[in-house]
Chain A
Amino acid sequence: GNSVTQMEGPVTLSEEAFLTINCTYTATGYPSLFWYVQYPGEGLQLLLKATKADDKGSNKGFEATYRKETTSFHLEKGSVQVSDSAVYFCALSGTSGSRLTFGEGTQLTVNP
Chain B
Amino acid sequence: EAGVAQSPRYKIIEKRQSVAFWCNPISGHATLYWYQQILGQGPKLLIQFQNNGVVDDSQLPKDRFSAERLKGVDSTLKIQPAKLEDSAVYLCASSLVGSAEKLFFGSGTQLSVL
A residues engaging B (CB < 8 A)? 4, 32, 34, 41-46, 49, 51, 89, 91, 93, 97-100, 102-105
Kindly identify which residue among B42, B101, B108 contacts A104, using a CB–CB cutoff of 8 Å.
B42
The chain B residue sitting closest to A89, CB to CB, is B42
Question: Are A102 and B42 interface neighbours, CB within 8 A?
Answer: yes
A91-B42 in contact (CB<8A): yes
Chain B window 55-90, contacts with chain A (Cβ cutoff 8 Å), 1 for yes, 0 for no: 110000000000000000000000000000000000
Partner of A42, one of B44, B93, B107: B107
Contact count band on B: 20 to 34
Q: Which of B17-53 contact A (CB under 8 A)?
A: 31, 40-45, 48
Q: Per-residue 0/1 for B92-109: is the Cβ within 8 Å of any A Cβ (1 yes, 0 no)?
A: 010100111101011110
Instruction: Determine the residue in chain B with the shortest Cβ distance to A9.
Output: B40
Minimum distance in angstroms from B56 CB to a CB of chain A:
6
A31 to chain B, nearest CB (A): 9
Chain B residues in the interface with A (C-beta under 8 A):
3-4, 31, 40-45, 48, 55-56, 91, 93, 95, 98-101, 103, 105-108
Q: Please give me the 10 A-B residue pairs with the lowest Cβ-Cβ distance, nearest first.
A: A102-B42, A93-B100, A43-B105, A44-B105, A43-B107, A98-B98, A100-B100, A102-B43, A103-B42, A104-B42
Q: A99-B48, A99-B56 are in contact. Are A44 and B99 (CB under 8 A)?
A: no
Apart from A100-B100, A100-B103, A102-B44: 17 A-B pairs, beta carbons within 8 A:
A32-B100, A34-B100, A42-B107, A43-B91, A43-B105, A43-B106, A44-B91, A51-B101, A91-B42, A93-B99, A93-B100, A93-B101, A97-B99, A98-B31, A99-B100, A100-B43, A105-B41
